[in-house]
A and B are shown apart, each in its own frame.
Chain A
Amino acid sequence: MTRSAVHPTPASPTPPGGHLLDVRDLHIEFRTGEGVAKVINGVSYHLDPGETLAVLGESGSGKSVTAQAIMGILDTPPAVIRSGQILYQGRDLLAQPEEQRRQVRGREIAMIFQDALSALNPVFGVGWQIGETLRQREGMSRADARRRAIELMDLVKIPGAAGRIGDYPHQFSGGMRQRVMIAMALAMNPKVLIADEPTTALDVTVQAQIMDLLADLRRDLDMAMILITHDLGVVAGVADRIAVMYAGRIVEHADVRSLYRTPAHPYTKGLLESIPRLDVRGQALSTIKGLPPNLMRIPSGCPFHPRCPYAQQVCVDVVPHDLVLGDGRTSACHFAQEVRDDSAR
Chain B
Amino acid sequence: MLRFILRRLLQMVLAFFGTTLIVYALMFAGQGDPIQALAEERPVTAAQRAYLTEKYHLDATGVGGFFYRYFDYISNLLRGDLGQSLTGRQIGDILAAAWPVTVKLALIAMVVTVVFGVTAGVIAGIRRASVFDNSTLVLTLLVLGIPTIVLAPLAQYFLGVRWQLFPPTAGADPDLYALLLPGIVLGSLSLATALRLTRTSVAENLRADYVRTARSKGLVKRRIVGVHVLRNSLIPVITFLGVELGNLMSGAIITEGVFNIPGVGFNLFRGIRTEDGPLVVGIVSVLVVVYLVSNLVVDVLYAVLDPRIRYE
Q: Which residues of A come within 8 Å of B, CB atoms?
A: 68, 71, 73, 102-107, 110-111, 113, 115, 118-124, 132-133, 136-137, 168, 170, 181, 184-185, 187
Contacts and interface: CB of A to CB of B under 8 A. Distances in A.
Contact of B217 (A106, A124, A170): A106
A132 B219 contact: yes
A295 to B, nearest CB: 20
Contact of B308 (A68, A71, A102, A122): A122
Contacts of B235: 123
B141 interface: no
Contact of B218 (A105, A119, A122, A123): A105
A152 to B, nearest CB: 13
17 contacts: A73-B215, A102-B218, A105-B216, A105-B218, A106-B216, A107-B218, A110-B216, A113-B209, A118-B209, A119-B209, A120-B213, A121-B214, A123-B232, A123-B305, A133-B218, A170-B307, A185-B216
Given A121-B232, A123-B231, A136 B223 contact: yes
Contact of A122 (B210, B212, B215, B216): B210
Interface in B172-217: 208-210, 212-217
Given A170-B307, A181-B213, 18 more contacts: A68-B212, A104-B218, A106-B216, A106-B217, A111-B216, A113-B213, A118-B208, A120-B213, A121-B210, A121-B228, A122-B307, A123-B231, A123-B232, A123-B306, A132-B217, A136-B219, A184-B217, A185-B216
Interface residues of B, number: 21
Contacts of B220: 102, 136
B232 A122 contact: yes
Contacts of A104: 218
A201 B103 CA distance: 51
Contacts of A168: 307-308
Contacts of B232: 121-123
Nearest to A117: B209
A179 B282 CA distance: 59
Interface string B135-159: 0000000000000000000000000
User: Binding site of B, secondary structure by majority: helix, strand, loop or mixed?
Assistant: helix
A122 B232 CA distance: 8
B12 to A, nearest CB: 28
B216 A71 contact: yes
A236 B217 CA distance: 29
Contact of A119 (B213, B219, B231, B305): B213
A248 B228 CA distance: 32
A181 B212 CA distance: 13
A118 B212 CA distance: 10
Contacts of B213: 113, 119-121, 181, 184
Nearest to A103: B218
A131 B212 CA distance: 17
Interface in B216-230: 216-220, 223, 228
B301 to A, nearest CB: 13
Q: B209, B212, B216, B235: which has the most chain A beta carbons within 10 Å?
A: B216
Contacts of A132: 217, 219
Q: A119, A181, A185: which has the most chain B beta carbons within 10 Å?
A: A119
Contacts of A111: 216
A73 B217 contact: no
Interface string B228-242: 100110010000000
A104 B214 CA distance: 14
A187 B307 CA distance: 24
Contacts of B228: 121, 124
Nearest to A71: B216
Contacts of B217: 105-106, 132-133, 136-137, 184, 187
Contacts of B306: 122-123
B235 to A, nearest CB: 8
Nearest to A171: B307
B210 A120 contact: yes
B218 A124 contact: no
Contacts of B308: 122-123, 168, 170
Q: B215, B220, B223, B232: which has the most chain A beta carbons within 10 Å?
A: B215
A269 B267 CA distance: 83
A168 B304 CA distance: 13
A309 to B, nearest CB: 38
Interface string B292-311: 00000000000001111000
Contacts of B212: 68, 73, 113, 119
